[in-house]
Amino acid sequence: SMRRTRFAYTDGENPYVTLPVALAADVFGARELVFSGRTMRLGSRELEVNPDGSAEIDFGGALHERYHVLPVLALLDAWALRKDGKPSGLSEDLFRGRIVVIGGTALGLGDTKATPFGASTPGVSKQLAVLENLLVGPFITEAPFWMSLLFGLGLAVLSAVLLMTVRSPALGLAWLLGGVGPIVFLVLGACLALEQVHVLAAFPLAAGALSSLGAMACNLLFASRGAAFIPHAFSRYM
């Protein structure tokens, strides 16, 4: 998956860390990767992860917008046209103090993946994003299930109270089509922007939609009963 990463694997006997973790371990001078609940420690670096040891990747933007991409051909040309032993056309400090990741970016190589910022992104962009999250930025983690459950129940109660208090078919339809969805995605966006956590979207959407439909059905049932009661009452009065 391009949206999620794990940091270590095992063949049943020996554990292995991924390439970004191995590189980050060299940077931090770490000798081991330690998991403790929702915390992962790599040397002096502590990061919050999911309970299963995975995390969602914060890409932060498109590959060519986030990183300096330099074709290998440009390096070969600079070396071939060197003057006085120095590459021509490239700064001597281009790679000094920086981490260089080598990977294929040509479409013909077949290593293209879909990311949140592009349908055909070179696969190396995942390794770059994981490494950047390890070094300077937190990963995106999943909120505890009770938060998603509480959010879904709260949205269901709000939908039911609103639609059964203001018994308007137009309001019910507008809330179902244009109220539940925006509220869910607004809350999800705020959680991602402020806390780097994501809340499950399917459960709140389903809870809000079903509660809205139930409230609209109850309103229609009560309205039908009220309409039938009036002629019946007048006939008995007469």
Question: Residue 226: pLDDT band by 50, 70, 90 thresholds?
Answer: very low
For residues 10-21, average pLDDT: 88
Question: Residue 234: pLDDT band by 50, 70, 90 thresholds?
Answer: low
Phi, psi at 67, each rounded to 5°: -130, 155
Q: Residue 74 pLDDT > 90, yes or no?
A: no
pLDDT in tens, 79-138: 777 777 677 777 778 888 888 888 888 777 778 888 888 888 888 899 999 999 999 888
pLDDT in tens, 157-186: 999 998 888 888 888 888 888 889 899 999
**Start-to-end CA span in the chain (Å):** 74
Cα-based distances in Å from 176 to 32, 117, 135, 155, 214? 51, 30, 43, 12, 11
Whether pTM exceeds 0.85: no
Separation of CA 214 from chain center: 31
Q: What is the pLDDT of residue 228?
A: 47
Q: Residue 200 pLDDT > 60, yes or no?
A: yes
The mean pLDDT value of the chain amounts to 85
Question: Residue 237: pLDDT band by 50, 70, 90 thresholds?
Answer: low
For residues 33-50, average pLDDT: 92
For residues 203-215, average pLDDT: 90
For residues 3-25, average pLDDT: 90
105 CB contacts (<8 Å, ≥6 apart)?
63, 69, 122, 124
Q: What is the pLDDT of residue 224?
A: 54
Question: Residue 69: pLDDT band by 50, 70, 90 thresholds?
Answer: confident
Q: What is the pLDDT of residue 119?
A: 82
